[in-house]
Amino acid sequence: MIPEPNFGWTGSVGDVVLGATRSDGGTRSRSYRIGGGTTLPFMEKGGTFPSPLVVFEICDDPRYWSPIVNDFCGDLVHDPAAWAKTAETTYGADLVRLCLTSTRQRDFSDIPSLGKTTDAVLASTSLPLIIEGSNEPKIDSEVFQKCGEAGQGEHLLLGTAEAGRYRSIAAAALAYNHAIIAQSPIDINLAKQLNILLKEIGVPRDHIVIDPYTGALGYGFEYSYSAMERIRFSALKGDADLAMPMICAPSDSLSIKEVREADAGTRNAIAVEWEFTTSLAAAIAGAEIVCVRHPDTVRRLKAAFGALNTRTGGA
Amino acid sequence: MPLKALDIYKLLPKKNCKECGDPTCLTFAMKLAAGKADLDLCPYLDDNAKSVLGATTRPPIKLVKLGVGERSFAVGEEFVLYRHDKTFYHPPGIMFAVFDTQSEEEIAAVTARVRDETLTRVGADLKFSGTAIVNTSGTVEAYTKAVAAVEKTAGLPEVLVTENPAALAAALVQCGSYRPLICAATPENYRQMCALAKQYGCRLVVRAPTLDGLARLTKDCAAEGVQNLVLDLEPKTLGDFLYRSTALRQLTITRAVPDLGFPVYLDAMAFDDEDAAIALGIVKYASVIVTKPLAPASAKAALTLRQNIYTDPQKPIQMNPGLYRVGTPGKDAPVLMTVNFSLTYFTLQGYLESTRIPCFMLIVDTEGLSVLTSVAAGKLNEMLVRDAIKKFGVENEVSHRKLIIPGYAAPLSGRIEEATGWKVLVGPRDAAEIGEFLVQEWKP
């Protein structure tokens, strides 16, 4: 008799909760508990385990967004609230990630508008929300303070903390009880270091999601794939400083040469294929949340995750 | 348990005859211990040594060669569960299916596409691997015609997909000597399939829905004299494949079940989303993947993923430091400095090309570290930049003295100015924004 696989793991991935329902003091229609894995992805005993979550990313200034998505989504891209609603009802996303691209304008200073946009998106969708702050360290403090406050009680996921740039976001997360994304440049040791820095300033482990950074397929994805496998492996081997769920955002996929230079007839298909392939492989390597920007990628990923999560027999 | 080189050496003839191709029996023993040599290369082994060594010195997963000639390929001989532990050596063959219910023209067109289509990425020519000829009609006559149409078009590796021994026998008359892969032997038909595989020296897929069943079947086939096997795990869902394939890899690399030490076959056509099955097969240990001919987007993604996953992760991917041209830059063209991590180089180069502004890229030697990491580690510093400007003769190439540095290197801007005498412009952190930056900021 062939034995079922046994890898001798001693640890497991810790839990992080995203979103808060009414009973938890928020207004979301659902919340997710991610993490909890005790073996390699999709290998859990019994085979019933939550599928990875599929996030649809939107922005508040489409000038800084992929023209492919802007063309595909049409007028929605000028109305984050309506776009978020569509992500929930039409695209079938599990979460929405609001990227505050308006902050990329030169000398951006309209902080109050960010709070208003956050409020509007929270009102239009009942999905848990990820908020991606500015590109500009100088305004981090105000931006995260404003968004954190607007989402108080909703248990948001705030992005993105990096080594050398994590204090403002951590302060907002601690003040308003949100979780944060901790990103490191495709390096398991730097990922661990950042988690330790966050721990030292008081961010609890169950409020951290690791982003090992996702290089696009063909542009370094193999490094990200292995970084994710190694982080998962370390968590299962008992390294508590790496035992957090992971997020993968292959957002570079839409700006690579293959997609940019594709002719009009195949551009959408290549964009979707690139997001899909990268996200699927990342989930197999250990990502519990994957973020995409093309609406057509969402359903394909959800179906594939469902199929990966279904077993009709053992080994 | 694997034997150590010295234990193996004790069982060798110690003649140092060199007939195995190694200078001494000890070096041959070391290769055997590493799974890098075949025991059969030694002509003087006694039966005892053969039986002791046979089980432990073979690579844990047998190397199986498909096809003949230029496009033949080998799969198997893998050693690890994670690519970062060593590397994955033998990329899976991706075979396009043709059906004997199609016209000869259609079959020839698919075969010609596999023969000719090439995707060139990072200096490598990526191709699909061969054709799988499916006996959809169930008849001998149609199958024979389909095989002939493929044979007439190209000498590519082939999978013969049929459960009908008569059709298979007729097909093998045409292509049996080109090492096709026969698909598939089951507990019901394996004797007939083995007889044909043995007669023509073919490779054989064995199919069963459990690893237990597969282990029994490989033993039965070995007893019939067929050793070059490939395993079809008969998954019903993507989850079945991932689970069984991972279990199998774990069991084989630890040599827990030697009867299972063969490469894996995956029929992607059995799944709703073929692209998902192909991607899963590539990352999770499939060695022969059969799919319908892929649409352009799916084709590019599959070839690219295969190239990524089968890149040696231990080799730091570096560019040679130097001054690179984008377009044909003149004396007043911008100079952009960055690191020699090849990913950084290719990403930046791609964005620069799309701006259509001719420029120079000054690639400095950070030993393959990214900008962020090399700044943090002190590898990227003003001296390195100063020396690179001198060494690569940048001063003779441009008449201005302005250097654009990556956004993440901003902390170094003052020191680079002092060390080089060049004016430093801090570029964006994200290469995607370089076009906008050049348009707005660049004046010679």
Which of B236, B240, B305 is opposite residue A281, by nearest beta carbon? B305
Q: In A, which residues are within 8 Å of B268 by CB distance?
A: none
Is there a contact between A220 and B343 if contact means CB atoms under 8 Å apart? yes
Q: Helices A140-150 & A111-124, crossing angle to 10 degrees?
A: 30
Contacts with B151 (C-beta within 8 Å, 6 or more apart), sequence order = B174, B175
Answer whether A223 touches B (CB < 8 Å). yes
Contact B305/A312, CB-based, under 8 Å? no
**Residues in a beta bridge with B98:** B133
Dihedral, B74, B76, B79, B85 alpha carbons, nearest 10:
70
Instruction: Quote the mean pLDDT of chain B.
Output: 92
Residue with tokens 């799988």: B132
- The residue extents of the domains of chain B are 5-57, 64-309, 322-441
Write down the H helix ranges in B364-443.
371-376, 382-391, 394-397, 413-420, 434-441
Tokens of A295: 């609406």
B167: left (phi > 0), else alpha (psi -120 to 50), else beta?
alpha
Mutation target among B80, B282, B305, B380 for the A interface, most CBs of A within 10 A: B305
For residue range B344-380, list pLDDT tens digits in order: 888 898 889 888 899 999 999 998 788 887 887 788 9
Query: Could you tell me which chain A residue has the CA closest to the CA of B259?
Result: A2
Q: Which residue of B has its CA nearest to A5?
A: B247
Higher pLDDT, B125 or A260: B125
Give the separation between CA B312 and CA A278, rounded to whole angstroms.
19
Q: How far apart are CA A167 and CA A149, in angstroms?
A: 16
> By three-state DSSP, how is residue A149 classified?
helix
ipTM: 0.97
d(CA B224, CA B213): 17
Q: Do B373 and A187 touch (CB under 8 A)?
A: yes
The count of CB pairs under 8 A between chains A and B is 165
- pTM assigned to the model: 0.87
**Which residue did the predictor score with more confidence, A234 or B342?**
A234
Chain A, residues 144-203, CB within 8 A of chain B, namely: 163, 185-187, 190
B5-57: in CATH 3.30.930.10? no
Task: Give B238's DSSP letter.
Answer: H
More confident residue, B432 or B239: B239
Fold assignment, A52-308: TIM Barrel (3.20.20)
Across A235-257, average pLDDT: 93
Select B322-441's CATH number: 3.40.1400.10, 3.40.50.11600, 3.90.1170.50, 2.30.29.30. 3.40.50.11600
Residue A198, H or E segment:
helix A188-200
Q: Check CB contact under 8 Å for A40 and B246.
A: yes
Domain at B64-309, CATH homologous superfamily: Dihydropteroate synthase-like (3.20.20.20)
DSSP E strand boundaries for B167-312: 181-185, 203-207, 229-232, 264-267, 288-291
- Judging contacts by C-beta atoms under 8 Å, the chain A residues touching residue B244 are 315
Q: CA distances (Å), A131 to each of A127, A143, A148, B117, in order?
A: 12, 10, 9, 43
Cα–Cα distance measured from residue B344 to residue B333, given in angstroms and rounded to the nearest whole number: 21
- What mean pLDDT do residues B35-58 have? 79
pLDDT of B212: 96
Give CA angle at B262 (A8, B196), nearest 5°. 155
d(CA B53, CA B306): 34
Mutate to test the interface with B, among A254, A268, A273, A300 (most CBs of B within 10 A): A273
- Tell whether the model's pLDDT for residue A17 goes beyond 60: yes
